[in-house]
Structure 1
């Protein structure tokens, strides 16, 4: 197994001179060297064929003992020195100081077919940034990250990827609900893959410490390798860099809202500088269309990271990045202009996205009112987001009677008997307006359906689906992991053989741990 190793991060950026793997504050360095933990009896559970191919790995490669050893941390690639990255961050709105890769170890960087990839093990042991934790991960959270990162890619959402999912052979002690009842769980390791794992917090830590020299070095590195079209570093280039990060963040957030993804923990250390979805912790998929929903138990009281607030948090996090970059620019106005532009552009992009979800592709002055009324109606009674928008594509411009309006989407209502009286009247009014608006579109019903089905997925990784796979895997049965992995490779296709997964969340999952709310514990 041979990689085209092209390391840049640990060759061009300042390293922590202390080689001892002890918890500490790491200053004037972008990373610390850290070797993965040797595991007692590792075994591979699943490998992404698509990601393996992207990295230039053959089927023979991924079946080898060498692959197992490298991607469980038991063998270091020749000529490489693994490391953990240094960063800080705002957690739930408060500056937390140094955080860093507490349970992620970067193996190396490679190039294949003109693409640059960083390989990182999550759950491979302690680093200088582990604080009081053990640097390990458990099977349940690893399954969720492995399946969701690949599912998001196939949904068309900018994301980090996953190459492999393995059991470490360790037993790991975790308190799932932080309620004083810890228990041992199976340890696991995911190999995450991305062009870079740089986060907003990588830059914030140096600004907070007033180490502008190291931050400038890191920003210049980032521009040279990931934004080369901006040209040589300068004040103007730094502003353009911030604009590019804002644009990428905006695009990612619009996609999250489109598919109903709720990240759950949008701290600044969990936002990628490349606009990739990163750190799949207590995420969730919007089932009942509720702008106030968050999947994170830690966030339950204030719901800072709720679905409807994700765009605002994205902007708030960009403000923090702007504050970090300010010393390199020395002027607030150009940064403020980018932030103001984000607000306007998000509104425009969000409206365009929502219109595409209901099959509107021309302009009409009343479209925003139509969308506002729709969002209000979707919250009159618990309504499944994925089912509603997917089934709405079946709506016909020529409708014989008003009852058939509701028939199109009735499967999306969790309590259909609530759709009566005033609720029913509001829906019928909306559908009448919608039908009139569709008359202004030049598309046929079939053409509109095709376009709508291209942006409204039929299948997403609902939490109860992931939990079923986790429960089976705990018993040593990995077939459901494979079934869901393959299902989610084609989320926009009908896949009639998998129709059972196109359904509302079952009642048993409504309040079950892992299905409704999740913690950061993994």
Structure 2
């Protein structure tokens, strides 16, 4: 197994001079060198061949002892020095001070075909940023991260990738519901892959300590290696950087809303400067279309990170990044202009995304009202988001409202909830929708094909992930493998897997891991 190593981050940025691995405050440093804890008996459960290929590895490499040892943390790959990164953050809107990679250890940076990647182990032991935690991860959360990172990639959502999922052979103590009943679970390790793991909170930490020298060092490094298209200098360079982060963040959120993904814990330390989804903790997928739903038990009362609030939270987080970068710019007005444009830009991009979901290529002013009335209707009774939009593509231009309604009615969880008023509202909407699609030049089949490229048939429903976790706990990984393969082609019909194109079963409505999740992992 041969990786093309580069060590830009650890070569060009300041290291923590203290190499003792104990929880502490780390100042004036971009990282601390850390050695992963050797697992007792590591074993490979699953690996993504596509991710392996992206970093220059083959199928044979995946099956090698070197792969097992390197990506379980058993050995340190030659020429590398693993490290963990400090960062700060606002958690649920409150300043939390120094946080950092509490259970993540960056193995190294690699380059392949002129693209650079950072390889990071999650669950490989404690770091100076572990605070009161042990630095490990359990199998259930590791399966959810591995499956979801790859599922999101194939959906076309910007995301970190997942190279491998391994058992450590060790037991990890966790209190799943934070109710005072901890239990031992199987330990696991995921290798995450991204351009870098630099976060909004990386800049917040230096800014909060008025360490402007290192704030500038980190920002200059980030632009040099990850935003080489920015050729400006001085203040203009930093504004261009912030503009790019704002735009890619906006783009990511539009994709989340498109597929019904809810992150669950959008703290500023969980926001990537690359505009990619990171930190798959208590995430979830909308089953019924509900803008007020959050999968996070910790957020159940205030629902700060609910589905419908994700665009606003992204903007709030961008404000915190702007505050952190302000010392490099010393002028609030251009930062405010970028932030103020976000809301207008988001509405425009959201509208275009919804037009795509509805099969509209021609832009009409009345689309806004039609979309708003639809999202309101979807919330009146439980309506499966994925099934509704996928089946909507089967509506034909010649269909009467009743026929069109019957095409999507499988999406309702309980048809008895559809009283006369709601049924009339649906028929009225479909009458308007029929008029609208008849204004389009695409044929029914062309429109269907276009809609099916943005409305997935298969997403990683919470109960699907939980079923694979239940099996994996018993040592059976066949369902995990099956789901992984299905989710590689989420827009294809895949008739052999039709059973997964179904509403959430009743048993999953309130089951732990299927409806609500904690941050415990």
* Structure 2 counterpart of 1:225: 225
Distance in structure 2 (CA, Å) of the matches to 1:59 and 1:281 = 29
Question: In the alignment, what sits opposite 1:105?
Answer: 105
The answer on whether the counterparts of 2:49 and 2:58 sit within 8 Å (CA) in structure 1 is no
Q: Secondary structure at the match of 2:190?
A: strand
Deviation of residue 402 (structure 1)?
3.5
The equivalent residue for 1:338 is 338
- Structure 1 residue 55, shift from structure 2 partner: 1.2
Helix, strand or coil for the counterpart of 1:164? strand
CA distance in 1, matches of 2:81, 2:423: 63
Q: Are 2:137 and 2:189, in contact at CA under 8 Å, matched by a contact in 1?
A: yes
Name the CA distance, whole Å, in 2 between partners of 1:101 and 1:228: 26
1:436 aligns with 2:435: yes
Please say if residues 243 and 338 of structure 2, whose CA atoms lie closer than 8 Å, have aligned partners that are also in contact.
yes
Q: Cα deviation per residue 1:264-298 (whole Å; 9 max; x = unaligned)?
A: 00000000000000000000001110000000000
4+ long deviations beyond 2 Å: none
Residue number in structure 1 paired with 2:520: 521
TM-aligned CA deviation for residue 380 of structure 1 = 1.1
Inter-partner Cα distance in structure 1 for 2:504 and 2:168: 32
Shift of 1:69: 0.6
TM-score (normalised: structure 1): 0.99
Instruction: Kindly indicate whether residue 501 of structure 2 is the aligned counterpart of residue 505 of structure 1.
Output: no
Give the SS at the match of 1:147.
helix
CA deviation map 1:119-168 (0-9, x unaligned): 00000000000000000000000000000000000000000000000000
Partner deviation per Cα, 1:18-55 (whole Å, 9 max, x = no partner): 01111110000010000000111111100101111111
Equivalent residue number for residue 311 of structure 1: 311
2-structure distance, mates of 1:90, 1:233 = 30
User: Would you say the 8 A contact 2:385–2:411 is kept in 1?
Assistant: yes
Note if 1:479 corresponds to 2:481.
no
Secondary structure in 1 matching 2:196: coil
Number of the residue aligned with 1:120: 120
Is the 2:47–2:164 Cα contact (8 Å) retained in structure 1? Answer: yes
CA distance in 2, matches of 1:451, 1:306: 29
Q: Residue 53 of structure 2 aligns with which residue? A: 53
Tell me if the contact between 1:224 and 1:232 (Cα under 8 Å) persists in the aligned partners: no
User: Structure 1: which 5+ residue stretches go unaligned?
Assistant: none
Larger deviation, residues 67-76 vs 412-421: 412-421
Partner of 1:451: 450
Following superposition, the deviation at residue 420 of structure 1 comes to 3.1
What is the alpha-carbon distance in structure 2 between the residues aligned to residue 80 and residue 6 of structure 1? 8
Kindly provide the CA deviation profile for residues 181-207 of structure 1, in whole angstroms up to 9, marking residues without a partner as x.
100000000000001111000000000
**Per-residue deviation at 1:418?**
1.7
Q: Is the 8 A contact 1:91 1:267 kept in 2?
A: yes
**How big is the shift at 1:407?**
0.9
User: How many Å separate the matches in 2 of 1:2 and 1:50?
Assistant: 16
2:408 maps to 409
3-state SS in 2 of match to 1:387: helix
Please tell me whether the aligned partners of residues 315 and 339 of structure 2 are also in contact (alpha carbons under 8 angstroms): yes
Q: 1:317-396 to 2 correspondence within 5 Å? A: 317-396=317-396
Shift of 1:403: 2.4
- Structure 1 145/351 Cα, relative in aligned 2: closer, same or farther at 3 Å? same
Q: CA RMSD in A?
A: 0.7
Show structure 2 runs of 5+ residues with no match: none
Taking the aligned partners of 2:23 and 2:224, their CA distance within structure 1 comes to: 31
What CA distance in whole angstroms lies between the structure 1 residues aligned with 2:145 and 2:38?
22
Corresponding residue for 2:492?
493
- Cα deviation for residue 233 of structure 1 reads 4.0
CA distance in 2, matches of 1:405, 1:376: 18
After TM superposition, list the pairs within 5 Å mapping 1:229-248 onto structure 2: 229-248=229-248
- Displacement of 1:350 after TM fit? 0.3
Deviations 1:357-407 (A, max 9, x none): 0111112121100001001110110000000000000001102x4321221
Q: How many residues align?
A: 521
Q: Secondary structure at the match of 1:441?
A: coil
Q: Distance in 2 between matches of 1:100 and 1:9?
A: 16
Secondary structure at the counterpart of residue 214 of structure 2:
helix
C-alpha distance in 2 between matches for 1:192 and 1:78:
19
Distance of 1:59 and 1:39 partners within structure 2: 23
What does the per-residue CA deviation read over 1:426-465, in whole Å, with 9 as the maximum and x for residues that have no partner?
Answer: 0000000010111111111001000000000000000000
- Equivalent-residue separation in structure 1 for 2:234 and 2:207 (angstroms): 18
The answer to whether the 8 Å contact 2:359/2:451 transfers is yes
Deviation string, structure 1 residues 326-374 (Cα, Å, up to 9, x no partner): 0100000000000011110000000000111011111212110000100
- Output aligned runs, 1:198-217, within 5 Å: 198-217=198-217
> What residue in structure 2 maps to residue 6 of structure 1?
6
Give the Å deviation of 1:245: 0.2
Measured in 2, the distance between the counterparts of 1:322 and 1:233 equals 18
Q: Distance between the aligned counterparts of 2:364 and 2:386, measured in 1?
A: 26
Question: Which residue of structure 1 aligns with residue 76 of structure 2?
Answer: 76
Instruction: Measure, in 2, the Cα distance between the counterparts of 1:359 and 1:203.
Output: 41
Instruction: Answer yes or no: is the 8 Å Cα contact 1:220–1:233 preserved in 2.
Output: no
Q: Residue by residue, what CA displacement relative to the aligned partner does 1:203-262 show, whole Å, maximum 9, x if unpaired?
A: 000000000100000000000001111115410110010000000000000000000000
User: Does the aligned pair in 1 maintain the 2:271–2:278 contact within 8 Å?
Assistant: yes
Secondary structure at 1:81's aligned position in 2? coil
